[in-house]
Each structure stands twice: as structure tokens, then as C-alpha cells.
């Protein structure tokens, strides 16, 4: 059953088209991540779903209920949607308990019991309930904001870059905790983020926006391995993009003969490989498809960045490797390719 359905959504601010004819669906209980550079329209799209902005055109429906269409829109507080902002947006004049219980209609012991359940749900100690927001760490504030949103038992949870202000280690732990919590509760979630790695790990559906338009949507694995264009490929991670001549499902390029994921196309094109598809081998290994000369090695601890000069290429190929034994400057190495290269559209 489809939980959220967006059809031909558009939103203008003056002469600026912030969202341009976006259609997208998300299944009940799924986790959708919307990514894109600044100004791509992802936050405006989220605000229209929440009811903070109304679309100029198009419709929004949730579990079959129409939220916005034809110039009419249901107010935000009637939509049954939870919202967690980037900074948590806790009320500074209320204690943790009152922040969590804000909006609850329960009274007395029932209200106290529900607040205790919620603080336990987000893995915080009940002793924090009497504290004030300024006495909490960033991670604790975000958990309280999540508990407050969960208190309303929403059908849909909107997460507007909620982890961006946290330290790297805490960000990963919070992301995992939130995904697990929402999954157990069966709540559909939409995450807006500029962090591609965060989106890939959090979501089971990924949508990429650029200049107000939806560029591509699908599973994270599909978008990472088969991006719709070069800009999307580079936005989602490091990529090796090479000119090639395609014939009979193989590409002739600076890396030798490489199998591609399109057996129908013939002619000149550009192909994409992810760096993890390239494996360093000793020069002369029978498995190698190409040879390269090491022109620079930038050691970075758990991984290093190699600059490799391939025959016929003007610019060195940048390859990140976690190999313990790094090749010497000026030495020749072999390269082998795992999987298929992706044929980029012309």
C-alpha cells in the first residue's frame, strides 16, 4: 500500500521555481531519503509535505487522504505528520518532560506514563525529564525532539537534516537508532540531507533533486551503480568516468576491455566505475586489465589516495585504496576491474 503520494508538485517564490513538477511515491513503513545540493528544492518539498508551505500546483496524499490539491490544503496540525528539525527546535522555557508532552491530550498519571515510555523509547534515562534543553548535549536534544514527534503517533515522520550538527560518530549511532525505532513502529519516514553517505545508509528509497526537479528515484544501490547522468554519479560519491568505444557489450578504454551494463549500444560514449570496483595488483599479474604508473601517493591512515597515470590519458586517475602495502612513487601497478561499468547516457 502506498503511504505518501506526490503528484506534479510545483512551488514558486516570486520568479524562482523552487520545486518543478515533482511526482514521487513512498510505501508505508519505508524510509525515503531526498538529497541534492543547496537550492535543489528538497527542503521546500519537505515543507510542503509537512504543511508549512502550500503547493502552487499538484497534489499531496497520505494513506489515501488528500492533504493538498487545487489550491486547498489541510493545515499542518491536522495532517498526522511528525517533524524533527535540524536543531531539534526544543522549547527553551519547558523542561524535557514538558517538551515531550507538548500537545499530548492525556492528563495526570496517563500523561506521566506516556512521557516515560517515550523517553525510554529513544534510549534516554528518566532522570533527564526534569532538565532544561540547554543542559542537554546535541545528541540528547535530537532524541528529545524525536520523542516529542513520536508522542503524536504520526503516520509519517519528516526528518530535516536532523543529524548534521552532531559529531561523526554520534551521527552514525543516531541515524541507526532512528531508523530502527521508526522501523519497529512501522512509521514511514522521509529524510532530507545533503550528506550522500547518510542518505545511502539510512534509506531503502533514494530521490535526487537538482534545480527544483526530481532527477532520479529508486533504491540506493540502483542510483549508486546506475546513475541517470554524470552529475548524479559524481554527487553520490567518487567515480571514475572515462571516454570509451562500446561494441557488443564491452568498452575499449584506458583501462582496457571492460564489460558494460548495456549490450545494445554501439559507438563512442562515457562509462562510469566506482573506485571500489578497481583493484590494485602487482605488475605482471595475469588478472590485470591495465597498467598504470604511480605519480603520487597521499597517505591518509585508513585509506590513501593514489594518482595513477594511464596510457593515453591526459590527467591521472584518482584511486582511493585501503591497501596496507602502498606502491612506491614511480612504480608500475596493475589494475583489475570487478563487475560491470555503467554506460552513461549521451
Q: Per residue in 256-307, pLDDT tens?
A: 999 999 999 999 999 999 988 988 888 778 778 888 999 998 888 888 888 9
Task: Just give the CATH number of 2-226.
Answer: 3.40.50.300
Amino acid 313: pLDDT: 82
Amino acid 226: pLDDT: 96
State pTM to two decimals.
0.85
Strands 72-73 and 240-247: unpaired
Residues 157 and 84: beta-carbon distance below 8 Å: yes
Amino acid 1: pLDDT: 53
Question: What is the spatial distance between Cα 176 and Cα 24, in angstroms, rounded to a whole number?
Answer: 25
Question: What is the spatial distance between Cα 54 and Cα 49, in angstroms, rounded to a whole number?
Answer: 8
Strands 250-253 and 290-299: unpaired
The pLDDT tens digits for 154-169 are: 889 899 887 776 777 7
Strand partners, 193: 35
Average pLDDT, the chain: 88
The predicted model gives 122-132 an average pLDDT of 82
Amino acid 318: pLDDT: 86
Is the confidence at residue 102, as pLDDT, over 90?
Answer: no
The predicted model gives 165-174 an average pLDDT of 74
Residues 40 and 18: beta-carbon distance below 8 Å: no
Q: What is the fold of 238-344?
A: OB fold (Dihydrolipoamide Acetyltransferase, E2P) (2.40.50)
Closest among 186, 180, 218, 224 to 202, alpha carbons compared: 180
Amino acid 2: pLDDT: 57
User: Where in the chain are the domains?
Assistant: 2-226, 238-344
Is the confidence at residue 48, as pLDDT, over 60?
Answer: yes
Amino acid at each position: 500500500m502506498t503511504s505518501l503520494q506526490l503528484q506534479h508538485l510545483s512551488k514558486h517564490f516570486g520568479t524562482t521555481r523552487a520545486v518543478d513538477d515533482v511526482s514521487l511515491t513512498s510505501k508505508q513503513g519505508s524510509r525515503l531519503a531526498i538529497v541534492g545540493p543547496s537550492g535543489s528544492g528538497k527542503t521546500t518539498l519537505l515543507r510542503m509535505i509537512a504543511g508549512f508551505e502550500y503547493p502552487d500546483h499538484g497534489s499531496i496524499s497520505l494513506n489515501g487522504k488528500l492533504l493538498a490539491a487545487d489550491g486547498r490544503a489541510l493545515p499542518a496540525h491536522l495532517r498526522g505528520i511528525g517533524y524533527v528539525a535540524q536543531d531539534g527546535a526544543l522549547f527553551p522555557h519547558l523542561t524535557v518532560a514538558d517538551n515531550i508532552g507538548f500537545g499530548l491530550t492525556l492528563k495526570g498519571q496517563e500523561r506521566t506514563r506516556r512521557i516515560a515510555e517515550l523517553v525510554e523509547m529513544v534510549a534516554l534515562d528518566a532522570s533527564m525529564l526534569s532538565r532544561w534543553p540547554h543542559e542537554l548535549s546535541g545528541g540528547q536534544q535530537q532524541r528529545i525532539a524525536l520523542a516529542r514527534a513520536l508522542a503524536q503517533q504520526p503516520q509519517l515522520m519528516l526528518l530535516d537534516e536532523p543529524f548534521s550538527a552532531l559529531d561523526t560518530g554520534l551521527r552514525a549511532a543516531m541515524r541507526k537508532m532512528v531508523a530502527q525505532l521508526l522501523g519497529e513502529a512501522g512509521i514511514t519516514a522521509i529524510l532530507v540531507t545533503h550528506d550522500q553517505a547518510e542518505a545511502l545508509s539510512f534509506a531503502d528509497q533514494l530521490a535526487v533533486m537538482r534545480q527544483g526537479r526530481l532527477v532520479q528515484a529508486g533504491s540506493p544501490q540502483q542510483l549508486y551503480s546506475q546513475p541517470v547522468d554524470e552529475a548524479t554519479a559524481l554527487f553520490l560519491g567518487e567515480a571514475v568516468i572515462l571516454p570509451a568505444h562500446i561494441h557488443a557489450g564491452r568498452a575499449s578504454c584506458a583501462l582496457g576491455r571492460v564489460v558494460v551494463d548495456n549490450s545494445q549500444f554501439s559507438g563512442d560514449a562515457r562509462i562510469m566505475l566506482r573506485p571500489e570496483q578497481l583493484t590494485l595488483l602487482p605488475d605482471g599479474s595475469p588478472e590485470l586489465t591495465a597498467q598504470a604508473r604511480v605519480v603520487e601517493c597521499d597517505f591518509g591512515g585508513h585509506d590513501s589516495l593514489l594518482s595513477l597515470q594511464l596510457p593515453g590519458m591526459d590527467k591521472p586517475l584518482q584511486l582511493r585504496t585501503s591497501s596496507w602495502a602502498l606502491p612506491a612513487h614511480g612504480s608500475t601497478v596493475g589494475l583489475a576491474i570487478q563487475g560491470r561499468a555503467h554506460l552513461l547516457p549521451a
